[in-house]
Amino acid sequence: MSNYLYILWIPLLPLATFVILGIFGRKYLSSIAGLLGTASLLTATILSFVAAKQYFFVDGKVNGVYQKIVALKYTWLEFAPNMSIDLGIIVDPISVMMLVVVTSVSLMVHVFSLGYMKGEERFATYYAFLSLFTFSMLGLILSSNIFQVYMFWELVGVSSFLLISYYFNKPSAVAASKKAFIVTRFADLGFLIGILILGYYGGTLDIGLLIERFTSVHSTQFLSITSASFLGASMLTWGLTLVFMGGAGKSAMFPLHIWLPDAMEGPTPVSALIHAATMVVAGVYLVARMFPVFTMDESALNIVTYVGAASALFAAIIACTQTDIKRVLAYSTMSQIGYMMFALGISKNGGENGLGYMASMFHLFTHAFFKSLLFLGAGSVIHMVHSNEMKDMGGLRKLMPVTHIAFLIACLAIAGIPPFAGFFSKEEILTAAFHENKIIYGIALFTAALTSFYMFRLYFNIFWSKDAPAASHADDAHTNDHDNHHADHGEGPWVMKLPLLILAACAVGVGFIPFSQLVTSDGAPLATHIDVVFSIAPVVLSVLAILLAASFYKNQNGKSDKVADAFGGLYTAAHKKFYVDEVYLFITKKIIFPFIGQPIAWADKNIVDGFMQLLAKITLKVSVLIKGLQSGKVQNYAMYFFGGIVVLSILFIYIWK
């Protein structure tokens, strides 16, 4: 087995950048912060491509099966034999795949930000936070111990919090960051309890050992965790469901999704990196990492399936009605992650039945590219128009040809039109769903059509809709890019266009990667083929949805308003995001605050604090009472002394004997 220790440098480089930029950035390095961050990440990206090449094509395979390699293991805290918190590096198909995804998307975002964030006051801080995020995400991917996953999980949450509230003088950004942090923290509580349950019964926190113990039906650990039950479900179900709850929080699954649309308050490249391509798929990655254990428990897997499918459909419906382009993309992200989740949920471990697992990972891979492309494209548009609202846009195709083409490619990719990347991964998911569960297949098909509809609604609204851009937009473009004398008006400097082009190339090309040969649930290659007959239904539906969107939004003809009126209540409900936020507000403000929060606050103030104050008061009273004894007169002290001797003498002589 060869040496993969150099992978350690991949997360360490961004960490070093974070430390350097965090300490010296604002004072000394603000001019080169972006270049420094980009250079360090470029090195990390090259290293991960080297690692991927070595693993996938040189020595990852033993007898045709990809091995799980622990490249580094350092025991950090040992509680009992085998029960320890380790810091390790695991190398297997999904971690190597994620390495490539995270570093390359992060690199694109770093490059794009050079143009997008130019002139920001806290430019160096921005790059420091980006590096911190990249470090945490890479650490999360490489974790070999479930507690290590948890630590990086929280670090990812913190860096997401910092980046969402980057514009900290905007109250909505501050509120959004708090919301994101609290909601995901709440989910992480479940994750922690899940870890403790699995660790308690499994007797270890090491992921490899946990999988080994919980997947053999005769091991004592497996017997003990399945025989113990709580509220009618076995502890295995509880543990896995709680772990999934953590994943659902990070991946914005219904009903813990409420933070994701608000998180769009952060800078757009950040949304592309964190809230589209990397952090939000951490939940999917977590389920995939623990997948062999999940397959041992039907009910936990069913929860994953139905939560995923419900989120996919729910978010797609909402996305059709939103007017803020980043929010449309946020709901679309949620919907696509729902796809990945239910693909995992319907999958089985190993062999031909592991198609769902492979499809889910494939979709994660392709989605990362086209969704970050969509976000970066949206970033370009926002950079030019200075607004997130669709009504401020329209007719931009002439002004922003590069963005237009890139965005169109990304839309086609997410809509699943061949030969773009999304087509291949979506086909695998649909095939898996068709074989396992017809209801899920129906939901997936309908969601696919909805996806095409809302993506092209977005596309036509931004780039077509109106004939010519309003004069103010052109002015904006000029004032905005006074330092950039490029031919096309204000599309941004080349650093903003290059990532779009690279990602567009990826969105076209990555679908052709023979993914089923590389990443599967058991490491052995899986034979898949695109069934042309099977593909007809989704593709035709998508094309129809695109044509529908075109007829509604290509020109402003008022058709869409009529349809919206026809749907009436459903449209309003979807526009208001099905009132989930309101339900949360009702539960917190009307139930939790007055009935739980206030009594606890009262108890804390009056009982806990009261007890302490009582002790203080007693001490004070007693000391006032006895302070007269300290008269300061030597002779009084001598009197007490002799009095004491007399009392002791009497005691010893007459009473004690």
Partner 1 sequence: MQEISLSQILFVSTALFFIGMYGLFTRRNLITMLMSIELMLNSVNINFVAFNKYLFPDNLDGLFFTLFIITIAAAEAAVAIAIIINLFRSHNSIDVEDATEMKN
Residues 618-637 that bind partner 1 (CB under 8 A): 627-628, 630-635
Cα gap 431→197, rounded to integer Å = 35
Which C-beta is closer to partner 1: that of 579 or that of 642? 642
Residue 635 C-beta: closest distance to partner 1, Å: 6
Question: Which residues have C-beta within 8 Å of that of residue 375, sequence separation ≥ 6?
Answer: 268, 269, 271, 272, 276, 326, 329
Residue 617 C-beta: closest distance to partner 1, Å: 20
Query: x-or-dash pattern for partner 1, window 219-258, by CB under 8 A?
Result: ----------------------------------------
Cα gap 397→293, rounded to integer Å = 49
Residue 646 C-beta: closest distance to partner 1, Å: 11
CA torsion 587→589→594→599, rounded to 10°?
90
Question: Which residues have C-beta within 8 Å of that of residue 421, sequence separation ≥ 6?
Answer: 366, 369, 370, 413, 506, 507, 508, 509, 510, 511
Contact 424, 538 (CB under 8 A): no
- Please identify, among the stretches 132-140, 288-296, 379-387, 638-646, the one whose residues bind partner 1 according to the rule CB under 8 A: 638-646
Residue 22 C-beta: closest distance to partner 1, Å: 54
Cα gap 194→149, rounded to integer Å = 13
Query: x-or-dash pattern for partner 1, window 423-462, by CB under 8 A?
Result: ----------------------------------------
Which tokens go with 118? Answer: 């130019």
Contact 306, 345 (CB under 8 A): yes
Residue 627 C-beta: closest distance to partner 1, Å: 5
Residue 639 C-beta: closest distance to partner 1, Å: 6
Which C-beta is closer to partner 1: that of 612 or that of 629? 629
Which C-beta is closer to partner 1: that of 551 or that of 636? 636
Residue 618 C-beta: closest distance to partner 1, Å: 20
Residue 19 C-beta: closest distance to partner 1, Å: 55
Residue 624 C-beta: closest distance to partner 1, Å: 10
- How many residues contact partner 1, by CB under 8 A? 11
Q: Which of 237, 233, 232, 10 is nearest to 138 (CA)?
A: 10
Which C-beta is closer to partner 1: that of 622 or that of 638? 638
Which C-beta is closer to partner 1: that of 607 or that of 626? 626
CB atoms within 10 A of CB 56: 18
First to last CA, the chain: 84
Residue 610, φ and ψ in degrees, nearest 5 = -60, -40
3-state secondary structure 518-573: HCCCCCCCCCCCCCHHHHHHHHHHHHHHHHHHHHHHCCCCCHHHHHHHHHCHHHHH
Which C-beta is closer to partner 1: that of 603 or that of 646? 646
Which C-beta is closer to partner 1: that of 610 or that of 643? 643
Contact 198, 244 (CB under 8 A): no
Residues 568-627 that bind partner 1 (CB under 8 A): 627
Which C-beta is closer to partner 1: that of 472 or that of 636? 636
Residue 642 C-beta: closest distance to partner 1, Å: 7
Q: Which of 291, 447, 416, 296 is nearest to 358 (CA)?
A: 291
**Which helix (H) or strand (E) segment is 230 a member of?**
strand 229-230
Residue from the set 544, 642, 643, 644 that interacts with partner 1 by CB under 8 A = 642
Residue 596 C-beta: closest distance to partner 1, Å: 48
Residue from the set 600, 639, 646, 648 that interacts with partner 1 by CB under 8 A = 639
Which C-beta is closer to partner 1: that of 529 or that of 627? 627
Question: Which residues have C-beta within 8 Å of that of residue 596, sequence separation ≥ 6?
Answer: none
Q: How open is the CA angle 584-340-258, to the nearest 5 degrees? A: 15
Q: Which of 67, 57, 71 is nearest to 8 (CA)?
A: 71
Cα gap 28→293, rounded to integer Å = 50
Which C-beta is closer to partner 1: that of 566 or that of 624? 624
Residue 636 C-beta: closest distance to partner 1, Å: 9
Is the bond preceding residue 469 a cis peptide, omega within 30 degrees?
A: no
Residue 629 C-beta: closest distance to partner 1, Å: 9
Residue from the set 638, 647, 648, 650 that interacts with partner 1 by CB under 8 A = 638
SS3 state at 4: coil
Which C-beta is closer to partner 1: that of 3 or that of 630? 630
Which C-beta is closer to partner 1: that of 80 or that of 634? 634
Contact 424, 519 (CB under 8 A): no
Report the DSSP beta bridge partners of residue 233.
230
Which C-beta is closer to partner 1: that of 579 or that of 637? 637
Q: How open is the CA angle 247-252-258, to the nearest 5 degrees? A: 135
Handedness of CA 454, 455, 458, 463 (dihedral sign): negative
Which C-beta is closer to partner 1: that of 602 or that of 641? 641
Residue 649 C-beta: closest distance to partner 1, Å: 13
Binding site for partner 1 (CB under 8 A): 627-628, 630-635, 638-639, 642
